[in-house]
Amino acid sequence: MTIPPPFPFIVGSGRSGTTLVRTMLDSHPDLAIPGESHFIPKMTHLKGFLDVVFTDQFARKWGLPEPKVRVRFAATPPATYPDAVRLLYACYAEVQGKPRYGDKTPPYVRQLPLLADLFPEGRFVHVIRDGRDVALSLMGAGWFPGPLEEAAEYWRTAVEDGRAAGAALGERYTELRYEALVADPEPELRRVCGFIGLDYSPAMLDYGSSAERAIGMAVHPEDHGRLRMAPTTGLRDWRRDMDAADSGVLWLLAGRLLSELGYTEDERGVPAAARARVVRFKALGKAQRYQRGIQRRLKR
């Protein structure tokens, strides 16, 4: 039985830098990473696999030649669902003229146990960024409708889920800090390449040609214009761009995790206004959960 090469998955909270990591790795001459997939955990069977893929709003952005892919699947029918996924990604890599493939879908940070079971060769790169900078970015993204408090909870739960699953995956899981990557990309990329079984290539630092393709494949292209720039520290900095009340809200809701990750508290402290906002947010959350419970019971 042929053992597949490592199948890297880039995951993390949205707005943590996963698209930058994907663009850098996709610039490697031996690795092709398409746009986000989202469909892998939704399917567990072979029936209708290609029909689902070629009607999926995310996979359509990959630009795969459907007739050629269907011929390839007919010539070498996959025996299992994971084999079908592998073959699909191999087709994408071949179109790009590369021998290896990977995936970048941030929400898979909550699906690591399932992906690890499906793909024993899976290697999981969890991109982590200071939750306050993530919250700033989320509040500027049109797809995130919630207030700052919900951005804090979104980041905290995504990172906690990924780290908890990663602890069980052992050597198949690694964390990549966004701040370290943009400050000095080469050593971080060398480490990631070693983790996924690739020789380091300096082409990953010159990712301009991949940037436009990555922006075009992105779920929200308007949020990724900065990919056209070289890695730059301080483009978004909560110390400069976030007032003490907002920073305090983030610390009250996610401070334990921020501290565990080595991110420091705001020197301005946590104002009373932040505490009041968190009390209201938590009370509203309890009320909403209570109301949903009543609605579920009424439907029985």
pLDDT tier at 295, thresholds 50, 70, 90: very low
How far is residue 154's CA from residue 139's CA, in Å, rounded to a whole number?
Answer: 12
Please check whether residues 128 and 68 belong to one and the same domain: yes
The answer on 228 and 194 residing in a single domain is yes
Would you say residue 38 has pLDDT above 60?
A: yes
Residue 115 sits in the same domain as residue 215? yes
Instruction: Evaluate whether 18 touches 33 at the Cβ level (below 8 Å).
Output: no
Helix (H, G, I), strand (E, B) or coil at 187: helix
Are 72 and 206 contained in the same domain? yes
Domain membership of residue 92 (yes or no) is: yes
CATH of the domain at 32: 3.40.50.300
Domain residue limits at 109: 7-235
Q: Which of 123-137, 212-226, 236-250 has the lowest mean pLDDT?
A: 212-226
Residues 69 and 147 occupy one common structural domain: yes
Strands (E), the chain: 7-11, 31-32, 100-101, 103-104, 122-128, 173-177
Q: Which helix (H) or strand (E) holds 169?
A: helix 148-169
First-last CA distance in the chain? 50
Q: Is residue 229 part of a domain?
A: yes
Sorting pLDDT into bands at 50, 70 and 90, what band is 225? low
- Domain identity same for 273 and 241: yes
Name the domain boundary from 209, 235, 261: 235
Q: How confident is the model at residue 33 (pLDDT cuts 50, 70, 90)?
A: very high
Compute the distance between CA of residue 270 and CA of residue 155 in angstroms, rounded to an integer: 19
Give yes or no for residue 209 having a pLDDT over 80.
no
Statement to judge: residues 59 and 21 lie in one domain: yes
Residues 209, 296 within the same domain: no
Domain boundary among 219, 235, 251: 235
Mean pLDDT of 249-277: 97
* Number of structural domains found in the chain: 2
Whole-number Å distance between alpha carbons of 215 and 277: 36
Say what the pTM is: 0.90
State the Cα–Cα distance between residues 239 and 148, nearest whole angstrom.
Answer: 16
- For 67, the token pair is 């007739």
Instruction: Mark whether 253 and 214 lie in a shared domain.
Output: no
pLDDT on residue 146? 81
110 lies in the same domain as 252: no
**Of 171, 199, 227, nearest to 17 (Cα)?**
227
For residue 1, being part of any structural domain is answered with no
Q: Is residue 166 part of a domain?
A: yes
* Inside any domain, residue 2: no
What's the average model confidence in pLDDT over 171-180?
Answer: 97
Residues 228 and 247 occupy one common structural domain: no
Contacts of 155 (CB under 8 A, 6+ apart): 13, 131, 134, 135, 138, 254
Residue 137 has pLDDT above 60, yes or no: yes
Does residue 249 fall inside a structural domain? yes
> Looking at the predicted structure, is the pLDDT value of residue 232 above 80?
no
Q: Which amino acid is at 1?
A: M
Assess whether 269 and 130 both reside in one domain: no
Buried b (16+ CB within 10 A) or exposed e, 73-84: beeeeeeebbeb
Residue 299: pLDDT above 80?
no
